[in-house]
A and B are shown apart, each in its own frame.
Chain A
Amino acid sequence: MNNKVSIDINTLKFLYERYKAFTIPVVVILVSFILLITFIVPQFQALFTLSNDAKKDSTKIIVLKNNLNLLSTLTDSTLDPQLEIVHAALPTNKDFVGIINAISYASSISGVNVGDFQLEIGDLSNAPKDTEKFSSISLNLSINGNANDANKFIRVLYTTFPLSEVTSINLGNTSSNVAINFYYKPLPPVKYSDNNPIKRIPSSRLKLINDLSNFNYNFSSNFESFSSSPSSLSSPL
């Protein structure tokens, strides 16, 4: 049996003439189907993404509103003194002027005579890159005075900016040696994120700033104009 069907131009013409009326409805159905598949179905799928975006934006708006409210309540007159205190307490770089000021102030208040000392500052041109670790400048100090005087010096230094840590004390009859580390730490880069809520400074930290304001410090780097009186010695942290 021969299954071959031969379609010639006449057959096609015949078929066209016969089904001519069906052409437009068929084309319309095909175009509708193509439109449905190509445009409308992807649009429906995109609606889910859009819905998620809308949810994210709604959350973001709540966060932004809260952040805006918080930032609006803060004033520069509150933040600036806090910034100055914390910066004086923990400098961002090798604050050798601040260190010399602190030693000078502690010696004048305690009445001891500071002997020779050597500061190993190191490289000043390149800022430390590691913002996670504390860096410190070590100092060995010779103090001329009895043990009580030297102890008073250490006590004053304990409440003087920049913050320091006495690592060893060797007190003698007439002179003493003290090893001190003065801390500094570079600031980490401030990252702004509109999706994360800005946190208030906790009350414990505000209390810390308040306590730090009683420390001895001098923002103008002037040897004689320390902002705090020696009475603050009686209120260590």
Chain B
Amino acid sequence: MNKDINFLEIKNLEKRESKKGLTLAKITAVSSLILVTLFSVLVYYLNRNIYPQSLKNERDSLLKSISSLRNKEAKLAIVANRTENISEILNKRVDYSKIASKFFEKMPSEIKVDTFKIDKKTIILTISSNSLLPINEFIDGLITLGKDKEISVLLLDSLSASEASGSYSVSFTANL
């Protein structure tokens, strides 16, 4: 019979190991609780500080203040939009009166305008006079307009004389 068998010692060993495991489990449980609590506090703290209530309050206050000025904002937007549109119209429209005035300025008083047609690109002009001298003076004036780049092409379409009325008639076409 083996007398070295010691049941008591083995039991104590098992108990000690079990106690050790239990202690470890308790420590882990408490640690995990502390960890969860710490993380919760950290999240709460970050939550409050990353997006503070004061920022929201300031935003809301500004929005409230600006909402009372919407009328002015609308007026400003309309004025801005309208000036843009008006500027577009003014830039694209041609001042025909200015162009016609330049022709009339070069016209001696003896000359009579029979027709003066003007559109986007072309001017068709028919004049008449009792003398060729003012017509010649006018043609010189038109050549000056061409030199000043007011007109790009100047064509003398016809020159006719009427014995019945005793006048000369000249037709021009000019390109703008």
Name A residues whose Cβ lies closer than 8 Å to a Cβ of B. Answer: 21-22, 24-26, 28-29, 32-33, 35-36, 39-40, 43-44, 47, 50-51, 53-54, 57-58, 60-61, 64-65, 67-68, 71-72, 74, 76, 79-80, 82-83, 86-87, 89-90, 134, 146-148, 151-152, 154-155, 158, 163, 165-173, 183, 185, 187-188, 190, 192, 194, 198-199, 201, 205, 208-209, 212, 236-237
| Docked-complex contact B117 and A169, CB < 8 angstroms | yes
Q: Contacts A72-B69, A154-B96, A194-B63 hold; do A90 and B28 have CB atoms under 8 A apart?
A: no
Asked if B137 is at the interface of the complex by the 8 Å CB criterion, the answer is no
**Residues in A neighbouring B32, C-beta threshold 8 A:** 28-29, 32-33, 36
CB-nearest residue of chain B relative to A70?
B76
Task: Kindly identify, within residues 1 to 40 of chain B, every residue whose CB is under 8 Å from any CB belonging to chain A.
Answer: 21-22, 25-26, 28-30, 32-33, 35-36, 39-40
Q: Which chain B residues border A165 with CB–CB below 8 Å?
A: 89, 92-94
Interface string of B40-53 (1 = CB under 8 A from A): 10010011001100
In the complex, which residues of chain A have a beta carbon less than 8 angstroms from the beta carbon of B100?
147, 151, 154, 169, 171
- Are the C-beta atoms of B117 and A25 separated by less than 8 Å? no
B43 interface neighbour in A32, A44, A147, Cβ under 8 Å: A44
Which listed residue (B63, B83, B117) contacts A170, Cβ 8 A? Answer: B117
> Which one of B107-115, B140-148, B155-163, B167-175 contacts A?
B107-115
Taken together as a complex, chains A and B put the C-alpha atoms of A67 and B39 apart, in Å, by 41
Kindly count the residue-residue contacts between A and B in the assembled complex, taking CB atoms under 8 Å apart. 201
Q: Which secondary structure characterizes the binding site on chain B? A: helix
Taking a contact as CB atoms under 8 Å apart, the answer to whether B89 and A51 are in contact is: no
Contact status A172-B55, CB under 8 Å: no
Q: Which B59-88 residues sit within 8 Å CB-CB of chain A?
A: 59, 62-63, 65-66, 69-70, 72-88
- Let me know if B73 and A192 touch, CB within 8 A: yes
Chain A proximity mask over B105-133: 1 for CB below 8 Å, otherwise 0: 00000001111111110000000000000
Inter-chain contact A36/B51, CB cutoff 8 Å: no
* Bound complex: CA A173 to CA B26 (Å): 115
Contacts of A74 in B (CB 8 A): 72, 76
Query: Are B89 and A25 in contact (CB-based, < 8 A)?
Result: no
Contact at A21–B43, with CB atoms within 8 Å?
Answer: no
Nearest 6 CB-CB pairings of A with B: A32-B32, A86-B82, A25-B29, A28-B29, A171-B116, A155-B97
Question: Closest CB of chain A to B135's CB: distance in Å?
Answer: 16
From known contacts A58-B55, A89-B86, A169-B96, infer whether A83 and B119 are also in contact, taking CB-CB under 8 Å: no
Chain A residue numbers with a CB within 8 Å of B63 are: 64, 194
A39: B residues at CB distance < 8 A: 40
Q: Is the CB–CB distance between A35 and B36 below 8 Å?
A: yes
Question: From residue A52, how far is it (CB to closest CB) to chain B in Å?
Answer: 10
Query: Which of A76, A80, A190, A236: most chain B Cβ within 10 A?
Result: A190
- Asked if B75 and A57 make an inter-chain contact with CB atoms under 8 angstroms apart, the answer reads no
Complex contacts, B30 vs chain A, CB 8 Å:
28
- Hey, which chain B residues are within 8 Å of A209, CB to CB? 79, 83
The verdict on A68 contacting B26 (CB below 8 Å), with A28-B33, A208-B87 known, is no
Contact B82 A190 (CB under 8 A): no
Q: Are A158 and B97 in contact (CB under 8 A)?
A: yes
Residues of B within 8 A of A24 (CB): 29
On whether the beta carbons of A87 and B82 are closer than 8 Å, the reply is: yes
Complex Cα–Cα for A228 and B29 (A): 90
Cβ-defined partner of A40 (8 Å) among B43, B69, B75, B98: B43
- Considering residues B63, B76, B85, which has the most beta carbons from chain A within 10 angstroms of its beta carbon? B76
- Cβ–Cβ contact A83 & B79, under 8 A: yes
